[in-house]
């Protein structure tokens, strides 16, 4: 609804895998200067953050993307999926996760250390379902999320 405050449970960012430093050890490779904690200008804001069973369901949006949905399971890194709805033509990119790493709170790698400002922190690598798109790296930082029981209905305006 128009008068309801925009929820902000955290941030996510995705970028092409090849720009992130492919096949590098996250603990040893400093790709760029660390981003100061709390500096997330331009990152899509998470407006839905739910954990059902072991699966996180995260939704975000930004001026460039009408909807971004990421589903992942820390216990089963290869069962996640994503959708990115791009631009006014509603072009949809879909894919699945191939790697997942929980980012420690004391992480020193400058590519992910900024996530230490969040309670929940993940680094995820995804493959597209079609060759038109590229492999992506996702950085996920959540302040909080809502645990939902299996079978519990979730309404669009439900607070997470």
**pLDDT one-digit tens code per residue, 103-126:** 999 888 878 888 988 999 999 999
Q: Would you tell me how many other CB atoms lie within 10 Å of the CB of residue 98? A: 14
DSSP state at residue 78: G
In a domain, 100, yes or no: yes
In a domain, 26, yes or no: yes
Structure confidence at residue 4 as a pLDDT band (50, 70, 90): very low
| Model pTM above 0.85 | no
Assigned token pair, 159: 């607070």
Q: How many domains does the chain have?
A: 1
In a domain, 4, yes or no: no
Average pLDDT score over residue span 92-100: 95
Q: Over 80: is that where the pLDDT of 89 sits?
A: no
Of residues 34 and 136, more confidence is placed in 136
Predicted pLDDT at 84: 94
| Dist. CA 85–CA 151, nearest whole Å | 27
Residues 6 or more apart whose Cβ sits within 8 Å of residue 137: 14, 15, 16, 17, 20, 123, 124, 125
In a domain, 156, yes or no: no
From first CA to last CA, the distance across the chain in angstroms is 16
DSSP state at residue 152: -
Range of the domain at 106: 10-148
Predicted pLDDT at 39: 65
In a domain, 154, yes or no: no
Structure confidence at residue 137 as a pLDDT band (50, 70, 90): very high
């Amino acid at each position: 609804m128009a008068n309801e405050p925009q929820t902000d449970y955290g941030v996510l960012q995705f970028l092409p895998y090849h720009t992130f430093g492919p096949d590098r050890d996250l603990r040893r490779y400093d790709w760029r200067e660390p981003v100061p904690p709390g500096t997330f200008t331009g990152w899509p804001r998470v407006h839905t953050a739910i954990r059902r069973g072991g699966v996180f369901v995260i939704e975000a949006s930004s001026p460039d993307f009408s909807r971004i949905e990421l589903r992942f399971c820390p216990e089963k890194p290869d069962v996640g999926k994503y959708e990115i709805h791009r631009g006014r033509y509603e072009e949809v990119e879909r894919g699945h996760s191939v790697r997942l790493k929980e980012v420690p709170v004391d992480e020193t790698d400058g590519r992910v250390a900024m996530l230490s400002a969040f309670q929940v922190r993940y680094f995820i690598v995804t493959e597209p379902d079609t060759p038109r798109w590229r492999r992506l790296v996702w950085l996920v930082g959540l302040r909080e999320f809502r645990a939902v029981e299996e079978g519990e209905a979730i309404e669009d305006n439900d607070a997470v």
